[in-house]
Amino acid sequence: MATYTTERSENAPTETKIYKVGEVTIARVSEKLITDFTCDFLLPDWDAAAAQKYPAWGNATCWDAEHKHAIVSTHTWVVKTPQHTILIDTATGNDKPRPFLASLDHLHEPYLERLAALGVTPESVDFVLLTHLHVDHVGWNTKLVDGRWVPTFPNARYIFPKADSDEFSKPENSEIPSGICYVDSVLPVIEAGLAEMVGEQGGEVLDGISFIPTPGHCVGHMSIRLTSRGEEALFGGDLLHHPIQVYLPDWKSVFCADPERARESREWALNYAADHHAIYFSSHFADTSAGLVTRNGGGFEWQFI
């Protein structure tokens, strides 16, 4: 059975947790909390009477006081192995025009300063792994310099699903959010020769780190599995947007392109995390954003750690 420990970082803010999975350490770099999604917008199947039956209802970090709005986080996971410094997903980014979502439009967040607090400079990042190419997962791939979008992490290899790149680069998708962010946050790293794409079967990209196809949220969505010394972590991308979905995995998010495939992928991830005692690192849960999935009868439970 995998184990985990948490430590306080000596350099980072006091609330930063450092997780250990085998020889690997993992920490979150927060970008911001989004508080303007109503529950029935984020989760179209929303039923307050059903939700309040589960422990997640009582976590005040995940809802507003009236349970009218769901609170979600945008952030990056910093993974340090004995050999490499790795970022998993890069949130929204600063200065990006996002007129389709006011809470993410033209941000000015101290993300790089928070990264530096963990001892990570842009030049020290070896790999950037992207679960998918949506706006709130690719933004810090690039930064604005003299009116041009340039790679933020100039020495890194950026690894991401080819299917998403193929889809969002189509001319007919140039006006949708994923097409817009492709131009300013993905294309510059491709043009700089820093990109590597993962085929639809996924597979191991680094020692102990594999991309696992989990489509549905978008065509190329993948989860990332990490193993070290018999312990495991699963980075689920956008399979789950809120912990209530652990208890009610049939509940889709509004952002699921193919809800049925997304549900199947969500069920796979919950089963995998429970069966392998893997720490689940979410992309959008508030609180610590990380936790454990366990079985309870025919369903699942969630515990933040």
Domain tally, the chain? 1
Strand 203-206: give its sheet, edge to edge: 203-206, 209-213, 222-228, 231-235, 279-281, 290-296, 299-304
Range of the domain at 106: 5-304
- Residues 221-238 have a mean pLDDT of 98
Chain centroid to CA 142: how far?
Answer: 17
Judge whether residue 231 has pLDDT over 60. yes
Judge whether residue 259 has pLDDT over 80. yes
Please work out, in degrees rounded to the nearest 5, the angle formed at the alpha carbon of residue 299 by the alpha carbons of 246 and 241. Answer: 10
Judge whether residue 1 has pLDDT over 70. no
SS (H, E, C) the chain: CCCCEEEECCCCCCCCEEEEECCEEEEEEEEEEEEEEEHHHHCCCCCHHHHCCCHHHHCCCCECCCCCEEEEEEEEEEEECCCCEEEECCCCCECCCCCCCHHHCCECCCHHHHHHHCCCCHHHCCEEECCCCCHHHHHHHEEEECCEEEECCCCCEEEEEHHHHHHHCCHHHCCCHHHHHHHHHCHHHHHCCCEEEECCCCEEEECCEEEEECCCCCCCCEEEEEEECCEEEEECCCCCCCCHHHHCCCCCCCCCCCHHHHHHHHHHHHHHHHHCCCEEECCCCCCCCEEEEEEECCEEEEEEC
- How many residues in the chain? 305
Q: What's the pLDDT at 264?
A: 98
If one compares 13 and 142, the residue with the highest pLDDT of the two is 142
Mean predicted lDDT score pLDDT of the chain: 95
Looking at residue 130, which CATH number applies to its domain? 3.60.15.10
Q: How does pLDDT run across 54-108, given as a tens digit for each residue?
A: 999 999 999 999 999 999 999 999 999 999 999 999 999 999 999 999 999 999 9
Render the burial of 158-193: b for 16+ CB within 10 Å, e for the rest. bbbbebbbebbbeeeeeeebbbbbbebbbbbbbeee
If one compares 54 and 1, the residue with the highest pLDDT of the two is 54
Kindly report the number of other CB atoms within 10 A of residue 9's CB atom. 16
Phi-psi region of 215 (alpha: psi -120 to 50; beta: other; left: phi over 0): beta
Q: Which amino acid is at 260?
A: E
Q: What's the pLDDT at 16?
A: 81
**Partner residues linked to 151 by β-bridges:** 142
Q: In whole angstroms, what is the distance from residue 258 CA to residue 12 CA?
A: 39
